[in-house]
Structure formats: structure tokens, C-alpha cells
């Protein structure tokens, strides 16, 4: 059976029984806490009935019965020497009363009733029984899912690769509490079956011939061989010395009638094994006989609540990226096919799909298993993860079977982007397979790209390559592709330089938000996302924005005045934070790309050696602000040097020329582990990289020392 059927069963049963399971788990935890009581009056382990009975008979004028409960407390019902009725916990060694028997508190009784029958009497009992049975099946399907995930039962307890927080902990705690949860479900089901009479069976009665002799009770062999702690109950003869009245001793698996004069066995009633199992089930289900087991059951019940929550979180994640298409299959030029088990690959594909739609392209997104005819398709993008032993995720298993090359134009080109994890031996094996498969029919636009552990940097490398190959303009900032989408919060405009066309905007977050220089601020003019690099200055966000006349985002920002409120959100951009380890950093910017660097320099309290190279068109009031600002930073030892190139001035030069001038400085510093950060236009980034390649010989060995955020 396929993975999806087991998963579907696991989820459907959990959903059906979810609410009841929540009630049963909460009451189960409370009852488990109740079961973890002190065992102050627990009976002595070694005292026999033969020892205790004469003592009790001396201390009480009449004894109806003694019983031993699951905690090991001995209860005596009878009358004391003064003729007062007694129903108390006693010490079987001395006969002394500890205290009168106390019933469980009202609260515990209320919980017991809720746990057993949801206050719905017989209907409730049936419901609880069914839910227990469903829990049993959920546990079994859960075991199958873990076995599938671990590629076989043999690896059931092998290391689990960390995937998503909730699914990782769902599996980890699932394995840890598997046995108690399984036993809770199994015993709950059995108790229910017993309650509705499904396990009823006849007891076996054996009769014996007692001898006619008289021996004192302390010499009865049966009593000498029976420890008090092992009995459930001992009924005393109603009329002493009457040979027709017997002691009736109830043990776990049988009850014995014992002649009160000779001590011989009269009848033995052997309980059916189903009744014995019922008792064992009750002990296991309630933990009433063992404090440690009661604690384990309490934790397991708590964990059922956690399972419900984490299971919902996993399901929600899978369903989150619902596919929305604005074009029909037959009109679409860009076909995006997705193979995704847990939804993250679909998240990446959706972000590409949204951008294509925004740019006015006819893009169509669907699952690999839902492939149909695409007569106008020009570009096919396959985004797929790999599962199991290098096999397809569950929504991609039938792709090859459904694929018909005649339903695509022959001129189609394709690119496959594989998502996987290097923790598995068959890294992106399914994507490789699809890449070879498609190669038989269409031309490859790009070689296969593989993405390890959902790396947004690696994905951005594919976007850059595809942009180049297809002359597209998709966002290349890795942060654009992170899964978490934070909420909009209000920012107050604190300052606006009112310089033209480029201006500096200072924003104060009105709600708590953590951000660093290099992160991005997303704003949504007319529901379209626009991103700006952020510098952190005095805990405010500082943006440098160029006003484009028809630019949606820049016009909105240009029109803001101090005191205005802007709704926006901060997006983490980890790949463009100042590196903690580097002691020397070369920051290269053009135009508005200077924004994150201003913040990083302002925050440079650890006095890293920072060199700033900036390129602008001409000197103006804004460049004067930068001059003043960098002078102060140099004075405060936050900045080593500031070099600026004006491309439209009389003695024009470019930022690349400044780098060439400092060639030897670059070579030495990069060999010593320095970092280069580039922010600004993509054209500038390309030119800078070419110059750096000339300076450093080969960029490849230094790739990890170069960070870029260009657009």
C-alpha cells in the first residue's frame, strides 16, 4: 500500500477521534496524577493471612471482610471491641486503624465519569470504546509510517534526520511513547469489550471433600501460604463455628471457599482468562498498581495532546501552499510541475509561479501526478523532492505513467530543480531520474540543479541561472524564498531627507520586531510586494530609496512624511548579515545599495576593519550627507576608509576602478579570510565580480567569502 494511504488513514482517524482524544487525554493525565499518590499505608510485603487473622480477631469483635486495594492498602470492615462499625485502612501486623476509608475527591470522581463515559452513560461508554479502538489503529498506522520513513522496521529506532520541527518531534516522541500509548489504546479497547459483554466466559468450579478435623486458623495451610498483599478480598464466615459457613478468599485468578474449622478447600472457582485479562487491562490502563507506570501513562496521555497539535501543524503545512491558477492548462506558456511530500517544494514553486504571474506571464502550476495536455507550453519547470529510497514523493508517483510527450509542443525546453537532503544516500535521486526522463523528449534549458535542505541560497543560484538563460527577471534574493512569512506591523516615519531622486527614510517599529542590517523590509503598494534593504541605525530601520516616477513602492515611500505610519514586514536575510568571524570587510555598493552598509558600520562596535567603496552618479546633497556620515564613522573607528566614485562627474570613474587601485590590498586581505559584501544593481555585481576575478585570479576559492544582495 502506498505511503499516502497510510498517511490518509492515520490523519482521518485522528481527525475523527481528535476531540474525544483531547478529552480522554486531559482526564487521563489528571487521573494519572491522582494515581501517583503516597503509598503510606501499603501493607508489609511478607505477612501471611495466617499471621494477620488471629491479630485482627483479637482486636475486633466482628470482621465481615478484609480487602487489599491496588495501592496495597488493607481495608477492614467489621465492628470494634466497643461495638462501633469500622470501615478503615488498618495495619495488618497490629490491627491498628490508620484512618477511615476515604473515597476519591469529587473532582477525581467527576474525571473518572468523564473519562469512562463522557457523562453520556451507555452511549458515552460505546464512544469511548470506539475512540480507544481508533487510537489503536492510529498507533499501528503511525508505526507503519515511521517504518516507511525509516526505510524498514529494522531501522525503526535508527537516527531520525531532522526535517521540520513538528514532524521531527512527532516522530521522535511517537517512538518514545509508542509502548504506553499502544497499551493505553489496547487495554482501553479490551475494557470496553469486557464492559459490553464481548469477553464473557464461564468460570470453572471444582469441588473438594474437606476432612473432619479441627485446627486453629493460624495453622490453615492455605492461609500460611498466602501473603496478605496477594489477596483481593477475604470474606469471613457469617456465623462463627458453623461448618456450612466458609471463608471466601478472592485471589486475582480464582476464588476459594475454605472450611472454617478444618481449613480445607471446599470449592475452587477458576475465573475465565478473559476476567483475568480485564483486571490486568485495568491495572495497565490506570497505572493504579505502580507509581512509575502511572507517571509514564500521564506523560503518554500528555503526548497524545502533543501529537494532535503537531499532527495538525504538519497537515496544515502540507495544505498551506494551495495551488491557485489564473490561466487554463491550454493557454499556459510556463508549466510548473511539483513533486512535494511535505509542501516545502510547493512553497518554492509557488513563489516562482506568483512572480511569473505578476510579470504578466501565463504560468500554470500543478502536481506531477496531475499532468494533462499543455498545447501552448514553452517552458517546463519541474520542482521535485525525493523520498524513501530515492523514490518519488506521493504526488509524483504516477507522473511517468500519465506523461504523453505528444501533449506538449516539441519546441518546449525544461529545467529540473531537485529538492533533497544530503543526509540521505540517494540525494535528489528522483529529480535526477525525471531530468533524464525528460531529456528523451525535450531540450534542457539548464542542467539539473539540486537544493540541499531547502537552501534558499542554492535555490537563488538556480533563479539567477534561469534568469540568464531565459532573459527573465525573477527575484534572486534568497530571503524571498524563505518559508516563513512574517506579519505586517506598523512603522512610524521618523525622518525623511526629502532629497531627490534618492532619499533616506528612517522608520521606527511600533511593535517588537527583531531585525539586523542586511535584512529586507517588504511593503505592499496595491498588494504588490516591494523589498528594500535595511540598515539598522539607533534601533530604527534606515532605507535608501530611489524614487522612480512610476514606481509603486518608491512613490509610496517618497510621499511619506514624519509621523506617518507604514504597514510593512521585516524579512530575515541571513545570507547578507555581517559575518561574525571576519575581521576585515570590503563593502561595495552603488546607488541605494549603500543602505545596509550604513547600518552595519553604525553597529560596528567590535571595530572590524571595514572599507566602504561606493559608486554614485554625481555629487549632490545626498552624497554630502554620506561624506559627513562616513567622516564621523572614520573618526569613531567604525570605518577604516571610504572611497567614492562618481560616474557622471567631470573626472568620472566607477566603483570598479576603485577596486583596481586597491588590488594588492584585496589579494592580501582575502588570503587572510576577509569578506567582500556587494549590494546594489545586478549589472554592478557582474562588473565587480569580473574585476575581482582579474584581481584574485580565480573567484572560486573565495566564493564563501563573498556575500551579495543585488537586484
Ligand X SMILES: Cc1cc2nc3c(=O)[nH]c(=O)nc-3n(C[C@H](O)[C@H](O)[C@H](O)COP(=O)(O)O)c2cc1C
Binding site for ligand X (CB under 6 A): 149, 163, 340-345, 385-388, 390, 393, 419-421, 424, 426-429, 454
To ligand X, the closest distance from the beta carbon of 417 in angstroms equals 11
- By beta-carbon proximity to ligand X, the closer residue of 149 and 496 is 149
To ligand X, the closest distance from the beta carbon of 351 in angstroms equals 13
To ligand X, the closest distance from the beta carbon of 29 in angstroms equals 30
Enumerate long-range contacts of 97-100, CB under 8 Å, 24 or more apart. 98/40, 98/41
To ligand X, the closest distance from the beta carbon of 16 in angstroms equals 25
- By beta-carbon proximity to ligand X, the closer residue of 43 and 344 is 344
- By beta-carbon proximity to ligand X, the closer residue of 387 and 532 is 387
- By beta-carbon proximity to ligand X, the closer residue of 339 and 596 is 339
Task: Give which of 70, 69, 200, 196 is closest to 132, Cα–Cα.
Answer: 196
Report which residue's Cβ sits closest to ligand X. 420
Strands lying side by side in the sheet with 489-496: 530-533, 520-523, 565-571, 489-496, 502-509, 540-546, 535-537
Burial 336-346 (b: 16+ CB within 10 A, else e): bbbbbbbbbbb
To ligand X, the closest distance from the beta carbon of 18 in angstroms equals 24
3-state secondary structure of 495: strand
- By beta-carbon proximity to ligand X, the closer residue of 48 and 345 is 345
- For 240-283, give the DSSP string: TT-TT-EEEEE-SSEEEEEETTT--EEEEEEPPHHHHHHHHHHH
Is residue 43 a contact partner of residue 229, using CB atoms and an 8 Å limit?
A: yes
Q: Hey, what's the cell of 342?
A: 511535505
How many helices (H) does the chain have, and how many strands (E)? 19, 27
To ligand X, the closest distance from the beta carbon of 433 in angstroms equals 11
Q: Which residues make Cβ contacts (< 8 Å) with residue 271, sequence separation at least 6?
A: 203, 253, 254, 255
3-state secondary structure of 707: strand
Q: How far is CA 215 from CA 218, 241, 391, 565, in A?
A: 8, 12, 79, 99
Is residue 711 a contact partner of residue 520, using CB atoms and an 8 Å limit?
A: no
To ligand X, the closest distance from the beta carbon of 167 in angstroms equals 7
To ligand X, the closest distance from the beta carbon of 163 in angstroms equals 5
- By beta-carbon proximity to ligand X, the closer residue of 75 and 386 is 386
- By beta-carbon proximity to ligand X, the closer residue of 387 and 515 is 387
Burial class (CB in 10 A: 0-12, 13-18, 19+), 484: exposed
To ligand X, the closest distance from the beta carbon of 318 in angstroms equals 8
- By beta-carbon proximity to ligand X, the closer residue of 261 and 349 is 349
- By beta-carbon proximity to ligand X, the closer residue of 163 and 584 is 163
Amino acid at each position: 500500500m502506498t505511503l499516502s494511504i497510510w498517511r490518509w488513514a492515520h490523519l482521518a482517524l485522528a481527525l475523527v477521534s481528535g476531540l474525544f482524544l483531547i478529552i480522554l487525554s486531559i482526564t487521563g493525565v489528571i487521573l494519572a496524577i491522582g494515581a501517583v499518590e503516597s503509598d503510606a499505608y501499603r501493607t508489609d510485603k511478607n505477612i501471611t493471612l495466617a499471621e494477620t487473622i488471629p491479630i485482627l480477631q483479637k482486636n475486633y469483635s466482628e470482621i465481615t471482610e478484609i480487602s487489599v486495594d491496588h495501592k496495597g492498602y488493607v481495608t477492614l470492615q467489621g465492628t470494634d471491641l466497643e461495638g462501633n462499625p469500622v470501615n478503615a485502612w488498618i495495619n495488618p501486623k497490629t490491627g491498628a486503624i490508620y484512618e477511615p476509608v476515604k473515597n476519591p475527591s469529587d473532582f477525581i470522581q467527576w474525571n473518572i465519569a468523564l473519562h469512562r463515559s463522557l457523562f453520556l452513560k451507555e452511549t458515552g461508554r460505546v464512544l469511548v470504546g470506539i475512540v480507544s479502538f481508533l487510537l489503536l489503529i492510529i498507533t499501528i498506522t503511525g508505526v507503519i509510517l515511521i517504518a516507511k520513513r525509516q526505510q524498514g522496521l529494522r531501522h525503526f529506532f535508527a537516527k531520525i534526520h531532522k526535517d521540520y520541527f513538528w514532524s521531527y518531534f512527532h516522530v521522535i516522541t511517537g517512538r518514545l511513547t509508542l509502548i504506553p500509548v499502544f497499551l493505553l489504546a489496547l487495554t482501553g479497547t479490551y475494557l470496553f469489550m469486557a464492559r459490553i459483554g464481548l469477553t464473557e466466559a464461564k468460570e470453572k468450579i471444582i469441588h473438594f471433600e474437606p476432612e473432619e478435623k479441627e485446627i486453629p486458623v493460624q495453622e490453615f495451610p492455605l492461609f500460611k501460604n498466602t501473603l496478605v498483599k496477594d489477596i483481593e478480598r477475604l470474606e469471613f464466615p457469617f456465623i462463627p463455628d458453623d461448618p456450612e459457613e466458609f471463608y471466601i478468599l478472592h485471589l486475582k485468578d480464582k476464588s476459594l471457599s475454605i472450611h472454617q474449622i478444618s481449613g480445607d478447600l471446599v470449592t475452587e472457582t477458576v475465573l475465565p482468562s478473559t476476567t483475568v485479562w480485564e483486571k490486568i487491562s485495568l491495572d495497565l490502563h490506570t497505572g493504579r498498581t505502580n507509581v512509575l507506570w502511572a507517571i509514564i501513562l500521564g506523560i503518554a496521555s500528555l503526548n497524545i495532546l502533543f501529537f494532535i497539535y503537531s499532527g495538525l501543524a504538519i497537515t496544515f503545512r502540507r495544505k498551506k501552499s494551495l495551488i491557485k491558477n489564473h490561466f487554463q492548462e491550454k493557454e499556459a506558456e510556463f508549466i510548473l510541475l511539483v513533486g512535494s511530500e511535505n509542501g516545502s517544494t510547493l512553497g518554492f514553486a509557488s513563489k516562482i509561479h506568483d512572480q511569473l504571474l505578476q510579470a504578466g506571464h501565463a504560468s500554470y502550476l500543478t502536481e506531477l501526478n496531475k499532468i494533462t495536455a499543455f498545447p501552448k507550453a514553452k517552458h517546463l519547470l519541474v520542482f521535485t523532492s525525493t523520498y524513501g529510497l530515492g523514490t518519488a514523493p506521493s504526488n509524483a508517483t504516477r507522473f511517468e505513467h500519465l506523461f504523453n510527450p505528444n501533449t506538449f509542443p516539441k519546441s518546449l525546453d525544461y529545467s529540473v530543480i531537485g529538492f533533497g537532503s544530503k543526509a540521505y544516500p540517494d540525494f535528489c535521486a528522483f529529480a535526477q531520474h525525471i531530468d533524464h526522463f525528460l531529456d528523451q523528449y525535450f531540450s534542457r534549458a539548464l542542467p539539473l540543479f539540486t537544493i540541499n535542505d531547502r537552501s534558499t541560497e542554492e535555490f537563488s543560484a538556480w533563479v539567477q541561472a534561469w534568469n540568464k538563460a531565459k532573459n527573465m527577471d525573477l527575484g534572486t534574493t534568497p530571503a524571498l524564498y524563505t518559508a516563513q512569512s512574517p506579519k505586517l506591523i506598523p512603522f512610524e516615519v521618523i525622518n525623511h531627507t526629502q532629497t531627490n531622486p534618492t532619499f533616506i527614510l528612517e522608520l521606527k517599529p511600533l511593535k517588537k520586531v527583531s531585525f539586523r542590517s542586511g535584512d529586507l523590509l517588504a511593503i505592499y503598494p496595491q498588494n504588490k510586494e516591494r523589498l528594500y534593504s535595511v540598515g539598522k541605525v539607533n534601533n530604527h530601520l534606515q532605507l535608501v530609496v530611489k524614487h522612480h516616477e512610476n514606481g509603486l513602492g518608491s512613490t509610496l515611500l517618497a510621499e511619506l512624511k514624519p509621523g506617518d505610519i507604514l504597514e510593512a514586514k521585516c524579512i530575515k536575510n541571513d545570507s547578507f548579515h555581517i559575518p561574525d568571524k571576519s575581521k576585515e570587510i570590503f563593502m561595495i555598493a552603488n546607488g541605494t545599495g549603500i543602505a545596509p552598509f550604513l547600518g552595519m558600520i553604525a553597529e560596528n562596535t567590535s571595530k572590524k576593519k571595514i572599507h566602504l567603496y561606493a559608486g554614485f552618479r554625481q555629487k549632490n546633497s545626498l552624497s554630502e550627507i554620506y561624506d559627513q556620515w562616513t567622516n564621523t564613522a572614520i573618526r569613531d573607528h567604525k570605518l577604516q576608509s571610504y572611497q567614492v566614485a562618481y560616474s557622471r562627474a567631470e573626472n568620472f570613474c566607477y566603483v570598479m576602478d576603485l577596486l583596481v587601485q586597491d588590488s594588492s590590498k584585496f589579494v592580501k586581505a582575502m588570503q587572510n579570510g576577509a569578506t567582500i559584501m556587494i549590494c546594489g544593481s545586478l549589472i554592478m555585481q557582474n562588473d565587480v565580480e569580473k574585476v575581482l576575478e582579474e584581481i584574485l585570479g580565480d573567484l572560486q576559492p573565495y566564493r564563501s567569502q563573498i556575500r551579495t544582495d543585488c537586484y
